[in-house]
Amino acid sequence: MVPKSVPQQAIKNCGAAFQRFFKKQGRYPQFKKKGVHDSARLDDGPGTFVFDGKRVRLPVIGWVKLREELRFSGKALSTTVRRVEDRWFVCVPVEVEMPEPVCESQAAVGIDLGVSTAATLSSGEKLAGPKALDAHLERLQRLSRWHSQKQKGSRNRRKSALRLARLHARISNVRQDWLHQTTTRLVREFAVLGIEDLNVRGMMGRAKLAGGSPTSAFVSSAASSSTKRGCTARSW
């Protein structure tokens, strides 16, 4: 049994995907595969979800414990329950009143993105990426080799797939943590960010340089970093 809002939200998402397709903004919608990006969204209708400290009440499921309380006080618009490897997360957009953002400095800076070095500022400072893939490459290769040797459909193959997925998630978390810390520091120190507009997909196609580089993620994070503090981000 699933709450009625879950299939309703799935239909809405399908409709939005077809609208993007007909506007030539995306590809033809595909069915979701079980076990890949599993998630379910609940709307803010009456009786759908309730937060009480470090727990949340979900329809049909009941009360579920949380690791931490909601960080913001306001109107919860929806709740999305998603699975990342063997962990479950509750994503809640909250409507709050935000004060007028103020940057600590009115200085401007240019950002030159690269592959070997994640970014170079116009001030001469170089921002080296975390190289998360290089640090875990040996273990990643070992787990991948073990996983390929397991019989398909067996319990051991499912266990090895979970171990491999955990490592991939760890690598992704290391990159995301560095990206958020770096972009937050930039928008606090500078009022205007000039970001180089590059063909990132072509750059990442060079196999010798693409390994472990966070450049493509840095482009999207830095370009949208203006939403963190209301500063201006431009590209050339």
pLDDT recorded at residue 147: 93
Reported confidence tier of residue 235, pLDDT bands at 50, 70, 90:
very low
Mean pLDDT of 122-146: 88
pLDDT tens digits along 96-118 = 887 776 666 678 888 887 777 78
pLDDT-derived band at 207, boundaries 50, 70, 90:
very low
Residue 63 has pLDDT above 60, yes or no: yes
How much is the pLDDT for 232? 47
To the nearest 10°, report the CA torsion of 87, 92, 97, 100: 50
Residue 213's nearest CA partner among 222, 204, 225 is: 204
Q: Which long-range contacts (CB under 8 A, 24 or more apart) does 47-52 make?
A: 48/3, 48/5, 48/79, 49/76, 49/79, 51/76, 51/92
The predicted model gives 82-108 an average pLDDT of 79
Tell me if residue 222 falls in helix, strand or coil. helix
Task: Please return the burial class of 137, using the count of CB atoms within 10 Å of its CB with bins 0-12, 13-18 and 19+.
Answer: middle
Asked if 76 contacts 42 with a C-beta cutoff of 8 angstroms, the reply is no
Query: Which residues neighbour 100 within 8 Å (Cβ) at sequence distance 6 or greater?
Result: 230
> Could you give the 3-state DSSP secondary structure of residue 214?
coil
Residue 234 has pLDDT above 50, yes or no: no
pTM listed for this prediction: 0.70
SS3 label, residue 187: helix
User: Contact 121/110 with Cβ under 8 angstroms?
Assistant: yes
49 CB burial (10 A radius; 0-12, 13-18, 19+): buried
Residue 140 has pLDDT above 70, yes or no: yes
* Calpha distance 230→38 (Å, rounded): 33
Half-sphere exposure of 149 (CA within 13 A, CB side): 6
The label of the residue with tokens 């979970």 reads 162
